[in-house]
Amino acid sequence: MEGIVLELKDNKAVVLTPNGEFLSVPSKPDWNVGKSISFVKEENQPSYNKHSLERSKLWKKRNFLIGLVASILILLLPLSIPSQASVLVTLDINPSLELEVKNEKVIAIHPLNEDGKQLLLQIPKAELRGELYHVTSIILDEAKRLGYLKEQETNILMVGILDKKENFEASKFEQIIEQKLMEYQLTAEIIILNTTDKNKKDVADNKGISLGKQLLQSEEKQKGYEISDKQLKETSIKEILSSIKSNNNKHGSLHEERDKQIENNTEEKMKDKVKDEITDIKDKIESKIEEKTKRIDNIHVDFKQKKEIKVKEKTKKDSESKSNNTIDSKKETTKHNEIKIEIPLPDVPFQDNPMKKPITFPGIGNR
């Protein structure tokens, strides 16, 4: 039976049939609002207008007209309701999940395959809202508990990122995953694929696969390896990567030669860049050394000049001091050379003999 998806909620889809019925059926990962689908109608299939149809054929015609108008409107509108998220993150373990993120908080999460549905059913809905890194940690905890992440094996985790504002820190998100895996002592290969092209997401939705798988398909196609849509939908990410590696081994020589050439070119560019940086640093160092040398020379010259001035001042001072000492010495010598001679006079008391007084002769010592 055919119909058009009008609503997706809680793993159920409301489908409009050509007969005007609104049926509630189990949804599939590749279904989205407005998509024309085929499905098998079960007995006692829940119908939103079943009783109305039994009561009145007129109501049936009315529903058909309403459904027809709704179908036309849906076809004229975009295939999916615009998301308020600034970043979309898909996580393939093998459970495939899509997380809508705004300001680093998960505002919605969708399973993209049956394993994804089973995993989300085990997690309380309240735990699936909040900080991206917290929600991711809880998802990995449950994946480990359910056996999707295994010990003594190389686990594969592929992350697809649609960054609408180009400010999402993919490296930080990768570190969160690595830290969680280290807690469990698990070995894993983490693949991060980024895009800012919204069309990639639309293509992935139409194929019913995750954004990460779509980006992987595009990347391998550029390398000359085709991965079919069927393989992407029905095969685990680990098996897909295994087939890619197997193909690379078959055509390894060409890839290795190309990769080696790219590596050599990159290495040469890096060497040139490092060489230029070293030359630039060397020039700066030499310039600094020359500048400091000039400053030191100026300091030496200034110091030498000041020293010479001080020496001259000291010499002059010493000379003046020496000259003064010579004059003082001459005066002292003259003083010392003065003698006193007493001439004996008649033996008359001094007070009675005013003539009896010392007579000094310059230049003659005392006797």
Cα angle 83, 86, 87 (rounded to 5 degrees) comes to 100
- Nearest alpha-carbon partner for 91 in 116, 121, 123, 118: 116
Domain that holds residue 173: 87-247
Confidence (pLDDT) at 6:
80
In this structure, are 37 and 153 located in the same domain?
no
In this structure, are 64 and 111 located in the same domain?
no
Q: Does the residue 182 lie in any domain?
A: yes
Q: Which amino acid is at 308?
A: E
d(CA 106, CA 173): 13
In this structure, are 112 and 237 located in the same domain?
yes
In this structure, are 56 and 91 located in the same domain?
no
Which of 24-33, 199-208, 252-261 has the highest average model confidence (pLDDT)?
199-208
CB 217 within 8 A of CB 39: no
Q: What is the pLDDT of residues 10-31, one digit of tens each?
A: 788 888 887 767 788 888 887 8
In this structure, are 145 and 59 located in the same domain?
no
| Domain-ending residue, one of 230, 247, 264 | 247
In this structure, are 140 and 97 located in the same domain?
yes
In this structure, are 159 and 223 located in the same domain?
yes
Confidence (pLDDT) at 248:
72
Beta bridge partners of residue 156, listed in sequence order = 189
In this structure, are 97 and 34 located in the same domain?
no
Q: What is the pLDDT of residues 83-128, one digit of tens each?
A: 577 899 999 998 999 999 988 899 999 999 899 999 999 999 888 8
pTM over 0.85? The answer is: no
How far is the CA of 239 from the CAs of 9, 140, 155, 235, 243, in angstroms?
A: 31, 20, 11, 6, 6
Q: Does the residue 37 lie in any domain?
A: yes
d(CA 50, CA 30): 27
d(CA 209, CA 98): 10
CB 155 within 8 A of CB 94: no
Cα dihedral 152→119→230→187 (10° resolution): -20
> For the residues of 232-280, what is the DSSP string, one character each?
HHHS-HHHHHHHHHHHHHHTHHHHHHHHHHHHHHHHHHHHHHHHHHHHH
| Domain-ending residue, one of 247, 278, 306 | 247
In this structure, are 93 and 143 located in the same domain?
yes
Q: Does the residue 261 lie in any domain?
A: no
| Domain-ending residue, one of 56, 76, 96 | 76
In this structure, are 243 and 98 located in the same domain?
yes
In this structure, are 134 and 59 located in the same domain?
no
Confidence (pLDDT) at 99:
92
Residue 36 has pLDDT above 90, yes or no: no
Burial class from Cβ neighbours inside 10 Å (0-12, 13-18, 19+) for residue 247 reads: middle
Share of the chain above pLDDT 70, in %: 72
Residue 161 has pLDDT above 50, yes or no: yes
Q: Does the residue 310 lie in any domain?
A: no
Q: Which of 2 and 205 is assigned the larger pLDDT?
A: 205
Q: Does the residue 226 lie in any domain?
A: yes
Average predicted confidence (pLDDT) for the chain: 76
Residue 77 has pLDDT above 50, yes or no: no
> Residue written as tokens 């991060």?
192
Which of 59-63, 158-162, 346-350 has the highest average model confidence (pLDDT)?
158-162
Q: Count of domains in the chain?
A: 2
Which of 3-17, 62-76, 109-123, 280-294 has the highest average model confidence (pLDDT)?
109-123
Q: What is the pLDDT of residues 294-314, one digit of tens each?
A: 888 788 777 778 778 878 887
